[in-house]
Amino acid sequence: MSTIVIACALGIIVLLAAIAAYYVGKLYFLNKKQRKSQQKHKAHSEAKIKKSVYILAKSLLAEQVPLAEAALRISALVEGLDIEEDDLWLYVSFQKLAQGISHIPILEGWQKLSKHQRDAYRLQIAEQEEKYKEFIVKAAAGLVEKHAV
């Protein structure tokens, strides 16, 4: 093989390597931009969730929303949140109450129940609310204090 052929082959290899490096770099920066956008979206979503939790907790303390409803809503809202270990106590009582009444039908299912069934479930809800009331009120006050603007 002549040196010209080897030089051309090396030139082509270097050119292809440069093109590959360009595209790898471009993909890296696109991926970085996409991750940053996703993080921004996640932070925005978490801020909305925290605001909703704050409003629910404040409404609960003002007795504008029942304990059971607040527990169900707050538990559902924070399901996907990354909660700091120090703040877990703020959510446990809501989750316990929500778990305690999770077997009770809601919305259309509730409407389909007989009066006797609804009364029986109301009694169960009241028992569960009483069981966790003290803890939930403390947790709601903690949430309001923590997230107050």
17-76 pLDDT per residue, tens: 999 999 999 999 999 999 999 999 999 999 999 999 999 999 999 999 999 999 999 999
Nearest by Cα to 122 from 79, 66, 84, 82: 66
Residues near 94 by Cβ (< 8 Å), separated by ≥ 6?
70, 71, 74, 75, 78, 136, 139
Q: 74 near 94, Cβ under 8 Å?
A: yes
149 confidence band (pLDDT: 50, 70, 90): low
CA 68, CA 55: separation in Å to the nearest integer?
15
Instruction: State which residues form the domain around 63.
Output: 3-147
Question: pLDDT tens, 95-121?
Answer: 999 999 999 999 999 999 999 999 999
Backbone Cα Rg of the chain: 28
Nearest-10 Cα torsion for 80, 86, 89, 92: 20
Residue where the block lists tokens 């909305």 = 48
- Domain total in the chain: 1
pLDDT value, residue 1: 66
The single-letter code of the amino acid at 54 is Y
